[in-house]
Chain A
Amino acid sequence: MATKQMSLDKVTLLEWYRQSVLIRQFETRCDELYHQKKITGVYLHLYSGHEAVGVGALAALTKDDHVITGYRDHGIALARGVHANPIMAEMMGKRTGVSGGKGGSMHLASRQHNFWGGYAIVAGHLPLAAGIALKEQYMGTENVVLCFMGDGSTNNGYFHESLNLSAVWNLPVVWLIENNFIAMGTRIEDSTGQPELVKRAIAYGMKEGPRVDGQDVIAVHAAISEAVEYARKKGPVLVEALTYRYKGHGASDKQFDARDDLKRELDDWLLNKDPINILKRTLLANFDDVEHDLARIDAEVLEVVEEAVRYAEASPIPTYEDLINNIYVD
C-alpha cells in the first residue's frame, strides 16, 4: 500500500481530500436544511460515508468520459466538478438549480460535464448507460461510461438486461456497484443470494473487476483506473466498492435512532473506516507540513458550502413559464 500511496503526489491527494470534505460538508448542510424545512422535497439521499467511492472513481475519468448514477447523486455531481451553487439551488427548488428546480435532489445533471444525471427509479439508469456507451462505440471513440449503482440495483431486472446487453455488444461501460450492504431497509443477506456482488460478472461472460475497499480513495482510484482502461480497449467491467451510508436511506430515515445494532455498526465505520480520516492519515503519514493545507481546505470548503446556501436562498423560484416549458423539444 505504501508504495502505491507514494506514487501519488501531494497535490492530487489534497484535491481528493478537498472533494471529499466538500461532499461531507455539503451533505451535512443539506441534512440540516432538510430538518429546518429549507429543503422541502421529501426525498434527500445523502452521500456521507460514500465519498471515497465517488471521488476516487471520477478521478479515473477524462472529461470526455460519461458519468451516470442513481438517486444518491449529490456527491457524484460535486466530484465531477459541478459547482455547489446550482446543486444547492436545485435542492431548494430554485430556478438557478442545475435542473432549473424541476428535477430536485434525485435528478441532478449537467450536460456540459457529461454528467447524465441522477435517476430515481432504482436501476432505471442502467440501460441508459448502455445506450450512451453504444453511441460512443457507434462513433468509434474510446470514451467510456462509468455507471454507479447501489447494491439494491443488482436485484432489479434492469441490472440483468443491461449487463447482459453490454456483454453481448461489448459496450464500453464500467458498472460500479456501491455496496453499502443495505437497500433502503433490507440487508443484503436478506435480499441477495450471492452477496459477493462482483461475482455476477461471471454469469454475463463479463470481466470481473475487483471487490475494492470503498473507504480508501486510493484503492478505489486504482481499481477504477484499471477498469476504465479495460473498458476503453476491450469492453464492460463490473466493479464492487464496499462502503457505508452514514445518514440512512434518506434524510428522513431514523434507522440509527431505532436500532442499537445499526448505531454500533455506524460508530464502528465512523471510528475505523471513515474515508476522510483514512485519507487524512495517509497524507499526514506521507508528507511533511500537511496540517496547514488540511486546515486551509477545511475552512475553504465551509465557505464554499455557505456561499452555496446563500446563493440558493437568494435565487428566484421557477415561474409558470418554467412549469410548462421543456415538456417537448420545440
Chain B
Amino acid sequence: MAEKNVPMREALRAALIEEMERDERVFIMGEEVGGWQGTHKVTRGLLDMFGEKRVRDTPISEMVIAGAAVGAAMAGLRPVAELMTINFAFLSLDAIINHAAKVHYMFNGQFKVPLVIRAASGWGNQATATHSHVAEPIFAHFPGLYVACPSNAYDAKGMLKAAIRDDNPVLFSESIALYSKPSRIPDEEYVIPIGKSDVKRVGKHVTIVSYARGVEWSLEAAEILAKEGIEAEVVDLRWLRPLDLEPVFESFKKTNRCVVVEESLPHFSVGSELAAQLQEAAFDYMDAPIKRVSAMDVPLPYAKEIELMALPNAQKVVDAVKEVLY
C-alpha cells in the first residue's frame, strides 16, 4: 500500500477536501478560513478549489459562527465551522452546549445537528493565560456532543472524516503543537470510527492513558522507561466522548497500575474521571494509587521559563510511572 509522510495540518486538509468532494452539503465557515488560507493553514487553497459558497469567511463573531452552524446543520447542511482556537470557543459555549448538544434531545429527535466545530488547542508558545487553554474536558462534560482529540496526523485525518459524516455535533480539537508533525498516511481512503480508543504501545508493567498531545509525551516516556526495563502500555483515548474505556480496563487488569497524562488542567480533569471509573470498574486489580500528570493548576504566564515549569513533559510522565511502580 502506497503511503507517505504527511504533517497533521495536511492530513486534516486532505480530509476536508475529500469530504467536500464527496458531499456537496459539506462547507467550511470561520474566521480567516478563506482569503487568509486558514490561521493554521489547514484550509490552505480551499477557497480557490471550492469557491466562496463553500469556504466562507466570517466576521470575528464566535457566537454566530457556532450558532449559525447549528442552524445550518439542523436545516440539512453539514457545516465544518472553524473557531481558530479553542480559547475563542468560550464565546460560543451557549451555542455549542445549549443548542448543538441539546436540540436533538429537547425536541425529541425532530432535528439532527451534523456539525463539526474545529478548534486549535494548546500552549507552549508564550501565548499566555487567555490563549493557551486546553479546554476539551469542559466540552466533554455535556451529553449530546462528541469530543475528538487526535494525537497524530494519521488519526486526525480518519477521525475528522468520521466526524463530518456523523449526524451528531462534534467538537474537534487540534493540538497546535502537532500540526507540523507527520505520520505515515496511506493514499487509500480510510475512516477511523467515532468512540474507539487505541493502544499505541503494548506493555505489561504500567498503563499510561492519554489523548491528543499527551500521547506524544507518553510514548517518549515509554521509550525512556524501556531502557530501564519498564514496559509501559500506552492507550490513546482519541475521543473524550464517546469515552471508550474498555481498552483501558483491559490494560489495567494486566498492569494493575495507571498514570493519566493530559495537557489540560488537573481540577475536574480527564485524569479525575479515569481515576473514578477505574476504581469502580477494576478496584480489585489496583496495586497503586492512580497518578495524574497534567499542567499545573495555575493560569499560564508569559515568561518561557516559568511557562514550561507549569507544563507536563515526558520526564514528568517517567517520574509518575516510577511513583506507581514503587
User: Which residues of A in the span 11-53 have a Cβ within 8 Å of any Cβ on B?
Assistant: none
Contact A127–B66 (Cβ < 8 Å): yes
Contact for B63 among A107, A116, A131, A161, CB less than 8 A: A161
CB pair B71 A129 closer than 8 Å: yes
**Given contacts A128-B99, A131-B70, are A158 and B110 in contact (CB under 8 A)?**
no
- Please state if B108 and A158 are interface contacts (CB–CB under 8 Å): no
Choose from B56, B72, B104, B105 the contact partner of A135 (Cβ within 8 Å): B72
Given contacts A107-B106, A124-B67, A328-B144, contact A131 B73 (CB under 8 A): yes
- A230 CB to closest chain B CB (Å) equals 21
Is the beta-carbon distance between B108 and A127 smaller than 8 angstroms? no
**Contact A124 to B98, CB < 8 A, known contacts A131-B71, A162-B67, A165-B59:** yes
Mark each residue of chain B from 279 to 309: 1 if its CB lies under 8 Å from any CB of chain A, else 0.
Answer: 0000000000000000000000000000000
A124-B74 contact in complex given A109-B110, A328-B104, C-beta closer than 8 Å:
no
Q: A121 at interface (Cβ–Cβ under 8 A)?
A: yes
On whether the beta carbons of A162 and B64 are closer than 8 Å, the reply is yes
* Closest B residue, CB atoms, query A126: B67
Number of A interface residues, CB 8 Å? Answer: 41
A161 and B64 contact, Cβ closer than 8 Å, known pairs A127-B71, A134-B72, A135-B77: yes
Taking a contact as CB atoms closer than 8 A, the residue among B69, B76, B95, B104 that contacts A124 in the complex is: B95
Nearest B-chain residue to A103, judged by Cβ: B106
Produce 1/0 per residue, B96-113, CB < 8 A to A. Answer: 001100011111111110
| Cβ of B232 to closest chain A Cβ, rounded Å | 33
Instruction: Please tell me if the beta carbons of A102 and B106 are within 8 angstroms of each other in the complex.
Output: yes
**B168 A132 Cβ-Cβ under 8 A:** no
State whether B94 touches A99 (Cβ < 8 A).
no
Q: Is A117 an interface residue (CB 8 A)?
A: yes
Residues of B within 8 A of A165 (CB): 58-59, 61, 64, 68
B78 to chain A, nearest CB (A): 10
Q: Is B239 an interface residue (CB 8 A)?
A: no
The answer to whether the Cβ of A111 comes within 8 Å of any Cβ in the partner chain is yes
Contact residues in B for A322 (Cβ distance below 8 Å): 108
Closest to A168 in B: B59
CB-defined contacts of A102 to chain B, threshold 8 Å: 105-108
Min Cβ gap A318→B in Å is 9
Cα A131 to Cα B64 with chains together (Å): 9
- Please name all residues of chain A whose beta carbon is closer than 8 Å to the beta carbon of B143 when the two chains form the complex: 327
In contact, A119 and B99 (Cβ under 8 angstroms): yes
B252 within 8 A of A: no
> In whole angstroms, how far apart are the Cα atoms of A99 and B104 in the complex?
10
Q: Does chain B have a CB within 8 A of A235?
A: no
- Could you say which residues of chain B place their CB within 8 Å of the CB of A194? none
| A185 touches B (CB below 8 Å) | no
CB distance from B61 to the nearest CB of A (A): 4
Interface status of B154 (Cβ within 8 A of chain A) = no
A157 at the interface (CB under 8 A from B): yes
Contacts of A107 in B (CB 8 A): 106-107
Interface residue A266 (Cβ < 8 Å from any Cβ of B): no
- Which chain B residues border A66 with CB–CB below 8 Å? 75
Complexed CA–CA distance, A168 and B69 (Å)? 16
Closest to A129 in B: B71
Q: Given the complex of chains A and B, what is the CA–CA distance between A99 and B69 in angstroms?
A: 22
Q: Which residue of A lies closest to B108 (CB)?
A: A100
Instruction: Give A residues with C-beta under 8 Å from B.
Output: 66, 99-103, 107, 109-111, 116-117, 119, 121, 124, 126-136, 138, 157-158, 161-162, 164-165, 168-169, 322, 325-329
A sample of 11 cross-chain residue pairs with beta-carbon separation below 8 angstroms, ordered by A number, consists of A99-B107, A117-B107, A126-B67, A134-B68, A135-B77, A138-B27, A161-B59, A165-B64, A168-B59, A327-B105, A329-B109
8 cross-chain pairs, A with B, having the tightest CB-CB distances, nearest first: A131-B71, A127-B67, A100-B108, A128-B71, A135-B75, A161-B64, A131-B72, A131-B68
**Chain B residues close to A by CB (< 8 Å):** 27, 53, 56, 58-59, 61, 63-64, 66-77, 79, 94-95, 98-99, 103-112, 143-144, 146, 166-168
